[in-house]
A and B are shown apart, each in its own frame.
Chain A
Amino acid sequence: MRTMLELDQLELRLDEQPIVTDLALTLAEGDIGCLVGPSGCGKTTLLRAIAGFVAPHAGTIQLQGETVATPAHQLAPEARRVGMVFQDIALFPHLTVAENIDFGIRRQGAAQRRHRIAELLQRVGLPQMGERMPHELSGGQQQRVALARALAPRPRLLLLDEPFSGLDAELRESIAREVRDILKAEGITALLVTHDQTEAFATADQLGVMKQGELHQWDTPYEVYHRPATRFVADFIGRGVLLPGRVSGIDRVSTVLAELRGDLPAGLNPGDPVEVLIRPDDLVHDDQSPRQGKVLDRSFRGAYTLYTLELEDGARLPCIAPSHHRHAYGEYIGIHLEMDHLVVFPQDGEDVAGPG
């Protein structure tokens, strides 16, 4: 597949403050990329730089192999053919829904435009709404119109800045899936920014995790979840705890729970203190197991129950149990580890993970 977007050694500054440092990523044509990270991590600034509103301090931005931004020269936003859906939606309040969508395709023929508007209204599920004014629409409807407006000129790349943050929590995931379907149907490459990982998992082909201007990992959602590249990614994505342990062999780590086997990062020697990432789904409730933990907390989630258990050495672990397994606080329940692979970080605090 051809590369649509390529960022290389990108550094962005606002008011001389570094916002994004040494960032590189590539996004293939037709893929949906998603950047997550806590607020203030630089993800919105990164989007604005790709759109052309922020000039890079160092590095390059390429679209389909064409360099659109270097520190010395930037293609104007209006010439980039990069669409953007803004966090505050920002429909033009003086134009109807159809006129909003029409805004970017005015230079095309009248029949062509009419057809495109109708097609997009259909696609976003608002076929009868063309003559409405923006203020007559609900938040979710405005969001769809904003998407249709950005899609109308068929941009090379579509950027979406926290597109669902203004919506109700229940709506978010379903709209996120819907947007993914629309983007796929349009065959468009998109880069989306969010701080909500549910949205990210629902939409992304490629997932990036940012912290303080650095891209910690850029991979498929599966890899990011199961093989987090850094301690921060492990902590930010999904639930889990880091269980202390000690390297006991070239492919094994001994912990309070068990001796775990798997690939270790290079440079670790037997005896080195390490930490092992334990996800709730790694720890299986098993009434037969001799290994037991005390129930500290219990959170009923409908389909399953999430327990927080305390081991004899004081370590606390999350554990998923079938919904009908009800145990009281303070009760000891059996557990065993079921891990496909090891995610191990050296305990000296260095923020690097092993290949797993």
Chain B
Amino acid sequence: MAVTAAPAWRSGALVALALAFALPLLVVLGSWLAGPSGNWPHLFSTVLGDYALNSLVLCLLTGTGTLVVGTGCAWLVVVYRFPGRRILEWALLLPLACPAYLIAYTWTGLLALEGPLQQWAPFPLPDIRNREGAAMMLILVLYPYVYLLARQAFLTQSGTALDVARTLGAGALERFTRVALPLARPAIVAGVALVLMETLADYGTVKYFGVPTLSTGIYRTWFGLGDHLAAAQLASGLLFTMFVLLWLERRARRHRRTDTDQKPPAERQPLTGVAAPAATVGLTLPVLLGFVLPALQLIAWAADDAGHLLSAEFLELISNSLLIASLTALTTLAVALTLVSSHRLLPTGLRRLAMRAVAFGYAMPGTVLAVGVVWVLGWLDGGLNDTLAGLGFAEPGLVFSGTLFAVVFACSIRFLTIPAQGLEAGFARLSPHMDEAARSLGGRPWSLFRRIHLPLLRIPLLTSALLVFVDTLKELPATLVLRPFDTNTLAVRAFELASDERLADAALPALAILLAGILPVALLARSLGNRDDAHHA
């Protein structure tokens, strides 16, 4: 393809762009260049052990929980027939719509002494505001990651493999443990790795439940101890763990078997006797606990508070959130399009590096990201002000770190990988011969992009815009720290009100986030249906 050499300035600009997005990451990692913070002995002897232990136990519990729930649900849904199966198949994704911190505070309200459940329960309901409770909350909203990948693995593994096992005398349990599970293992590992990344990145849930973890520890070190260097170095530790998980996930995906000459899975077996209603009830539980009950509680609270729906404060929350989410979606789309369509501008190795750096953004917990962004933008503002002052101009103030720019920048880094991967896959489906045909017909590169690529990439563009938009709406920890002084968003306000024990007041913004969260889940659910049709065809 590389017929004409790209102008050097364009390649340079592209590298600079990728570098800008990698800068906060580099800063966090580079914090060790300043030497270890003097506070490390203090941290070691006091809180660090707690942080690490809590994070580890959370990972263990959440990992195991999502593994069991996600894999179990996927297996039942794929292999058996029972009442409600078709609905549950997509309904099991609904908890994805709910950020963990929302469900944490909603369940606190549900289980409270004066809450709706305690009035019916003959025994005192457990207090969930502890480490194990946090794990429960995380399991409830994160198991769909495992469910989704395991379900797909079970679906695409040859149905005849299970039939063969039957003709060789293997019973139901044996077929699961000896054939289905080993075949689906890479997918399940990938799912659990994603869950662990989300668990380590979680800020809202553990903060709300008062469980000190590495993620909240970074903020405590930054704000409480005032030691920015130690915070960055602590963040680098968390980041390293994320890299390991990301690597694990990548490796697992590579090992996924993609035999193409497979038969559709065998006919689903009907469950008989008590097994059928048991499966229905068992699979309804995660949906009920992870979505329906919290949603109902939020609706009930919000109904009492409906008067505030049109209040100036709520409308401002909405407009702030929409603004940040739209700006982030547009930014990520533009950057991703530039990077992905750059194959004629950058050497393959450099481009791959840029794409990989982009993917790391998603592995950066919001707290880590915030630390990196504050450093970078702080320097930038400092430099700008000093320079302008030196030239005799008025200081413009914190134009980067003190404005929405910081939030949009951070969210863009975190979610850039969504459009980047979506568009990369979209481009990969376009035959290079089409480009060549268009160019041989006299199309210039720009008109090629506008007249051919853009229309054909409409779906991945819209889908990734939606995903980034909703993910930004839900984002809490980075927004919490980076937002301008007087600016609130739905997520931040819901979290603040809940933290002040004003659970009911938090319902309106929370419900708004939940409703937005349903959109991508609906998209996902629809793609499940399509795949099923393809199997029947």
Residues 249 to 294 of chain B near chain A (Cβ within 8 Å): 257, 259, 261-263, 266-267
Once bound together, how far apart are the Cα atoms of A90 and B179, in whole Å?
12
Q: Which residue of chain A is the closest to B168 with respect to CB atoms?
A: A104
Q: CB < 8 Å: which of B163, B168, B259, B267 contacts A93? A: B259
Once bound together, how far apart are the Cα atoms of A79 and B166, in whole Å?
8
A92 touching B167 by the CB < 8 A rule?
Answer: no
B171 adjacent to chain A (CB < 8 Å): yes
Once bound together, how far apart are the Cα atoms of A94 and B177, in whole Å?
13
**CB-CB under 8 A for A92 and B171, given A52-B166, A103-B178:** no
B166 touching A90 by the CB < 8 A rule?
Answer: no
Q: Which residue of chain A is the closest to B158 with respect to CB atoms?
A: A90
Residues 129 to 152 of chain A near chain B (Cβ within 8 Å): 149-150, 152
Q: CB < 8 Å: which of A78, A87, A88 contacts B167? A: A78
A153 adjacent to chain B (CB < 8 Å): yes
**CB-CB under 8 A for A77 and B160, given A88-B263, A93-B183:** no
A to B CB contacts below 8 Å, 9 in the list: A53-B267, A77-B167, A78-B171, A84-B164, A88-B158, A92-B161, A92-B164, A92-B165, A92-B179
B529 adjacent to chain A (CB < 8 Å): no
Tell me the interface secondary structure of chain A in the complex: loop
Interface centre among B167, B257, B259 (most CB of A within 10 A): B167
**CB-CB under 8 A for A88 and B261, given A53-B163, A77-B163, A94-B182:** yes
Once bound together, how far apart are the Cα atoms of A289 and B330, in whole Å?
90
Taking the closest CB of chain B, its distance from the CB of A161, in whole angstroms, is 9
B17 adjacent to chain A (CB < 8 Å): no
Once bound together, how far apart are the Cα atoms of A152 and B262, in whole Å?
24
A153 touching B168 by the CB < 8 A rule?
Answer: yes
B158 touching A104 by the CB < 8 A rule?
Answer: no
B163 touching A84 by the CB < 8 A rule?
Answer: yes
Chain A residues positioned under 8 Å from B164 (CB to CB): 84, 86, 90, 92, 149
B169 touching A153 by the CB < 8 A rule?
Answer: yes
A76 adjacent to chain B (CB < 8 Å): yes
Once bound together, how far apart are the Cα atoms of A53 and B263, in whole Å?
15
Q: Which residue of chain A is the closest to B183 with respect to CB atoms?
A: A94
Taking the closest CB of chain A, its distance from the CB of B22, in whole angstroms, is 38
**CB-CB under 8 A for A82 and B161, given A88-B261, A94-B182:** no
Interface centre among A51, A53, A82, A92 (most CB of B within 10 A): A92
Q: Which residues of A contact B (CB under 8 A)?
A: 51-53, 76-84, 86-88, 90, 92-94, 103-104, 149-150, 152-153, 155, 159
Once bound together, how far apart are the Cα atoms of A150 and B267, in whole Å?
22
Taking the closest CB of chain A, its distance from the CB of B159, in whole angstroms, is 9
The contact string, 1 if C-beta is below 8 Å from chain A, for chain B 137-170, is: 0000000000000000000001011011111111
Once bound together, how far apart are the Cα atoms of A82 and B167, in whole Å?
6
A90 touching B168 by the CB < 8 A rule?
Answer: no
Taking the closest CB of chain B, its distance from the CB of A136, in whole angstroms, is 14
Q: CB < 8 Å: which of B166, B182, B263 contacts A77? A: B166
Q: CB < 8 Å: which of A53, A81, A103, A152 contacts B165? A: A103
Q: Which residue of chain B is the closest to A158 with respect to CB atoms?
A: B167
Chain B residues positioned under 8 Å from A159 (CB to CB): 167
A88 touching B262 by the CB < 8 A rule?
Answer: yes
B160 touching A78 by the CB < 8 A rule?
Answer: no
**CB-CB under 8 A for A90 and B160, given A78-B166, A82-B167, A103-B168:** yes
The contact string, 1 if C-beta is below 8 Å from chain A, for chain B 334-364, is: 0000000000000000000000000000000
Once bound together, how far apart are the Cα atoms of A104 and B158, in whole Å?
18
A83 touching B168 by the CB < 8 A rule?
Answer: yes
Q: Which residue of chain B is the closest to A166 with respect to CB atoms?
A: B261
Chain B residues positioned under 8 Å from A84 (CB to CB): 163-164, 167
Once bound together, how far apart are the Cα atoms of A345 and B163, in whole Å?
43
Taking the closest CB of chain B, its distance from the CB of A115, in whole angstroms, is 18
A103 touching B170 by the CB < 8 A rule?
Answer: yes
Chain A residues positioned under 8 Å from B179 (CB to CB): 92
A104 touching B169 by the CB < 8 A rule?
Answer: yes
A78 touching B161 by the CB < 8 A rule?
Answer: no
A149 touching B168 by the CB < 8 A rule?
Answer: yes
Once bound together, how far apart are the Cα atoms of A14 and B8, in whole Å?
65
Chain A residues positioned under 8 Å from B183 (CB to CB): 92-94
Once bound together, how far apart are the Cα atoms of A81 and B170, in whole Å?
11
Interface centre among A83, A93, A149, A152 (most CB of B within 10 A): A93
Interface centre among B168, B183, B257 (most CB of A within 10 A): B168
Q: Which residue of chain A is the closest to B262 with respect to CB atoms?
A: A88
Once bound together, how far apart are the Cα atoms of A159 and B160, in whole Å?
14
Besides A53-B267, A78-B167, 6 other A-B contacts (C-beta < 8 A): A76-B166, A78-B165, A80-B167, A81-B169, A103-B178, A153-B168
**CB-CB under 8 A for A53 and B168, given A84-B163, A93-B257:** no
Once bound together, how far apart are the Cα atoms of A14 and B171, in whole Å?
24
Once bound together, how far apart are the Cα atoms of A150 and B163, in whole Å?
12
Taking the closest CB of chain A, its distance from the CB of B334, in whole angstroms, is 42
Q: Which residue of chain B is the closest to A54 with respect to CB atoms?
A: B267
Chain A residues positioned under 8 Å from B168 (CB to CB): 78, 83, 103-104, 149-150, 152-153
B160 touching A86 by the CB < 8 A rule?
Answer: yes
Once bound together, how far apart are the Cα atoms of A80 and B257, in whole Å?
31
Once bound together, how far apart are the Cα atoms of A86 and B183, in whole Å?
19
Chain B residues positioned under 8 Å from A152 (CB to CB): 168
Once bound together, how far apart are the Cα atoms of A51 and B161, in whole Å?
14
Once bound together, how far apart are the Cα atoms of A80 and B166, in whole Å?
9
B163 touching A86 by the CB < 8 A rule?
Answer: yes
Chain A residues positioned under 8 Å from B167 (CB to CB): 51, 77-78, 80, 82-84, 150, 155, 159
Once bound together, how far apart are the Cα atoms of A348 and B396, in whole Å?
102
Chain A residues positioned under 8 Å from B178 (CB to CB): 103
The contact string, 1 if C-beta is below 8 Å from chain A, for chain B 163-205, is: 1111111110000001100110000000000000000000000
A53 touching B182 by the CB < 8 A rule?
Answer: no
Q: Which residue of chain B is the closest to A103 with respect to CB atoms?
A: B168
Chain A residues positioned under 8 Å from B261 (CB to CB): 88
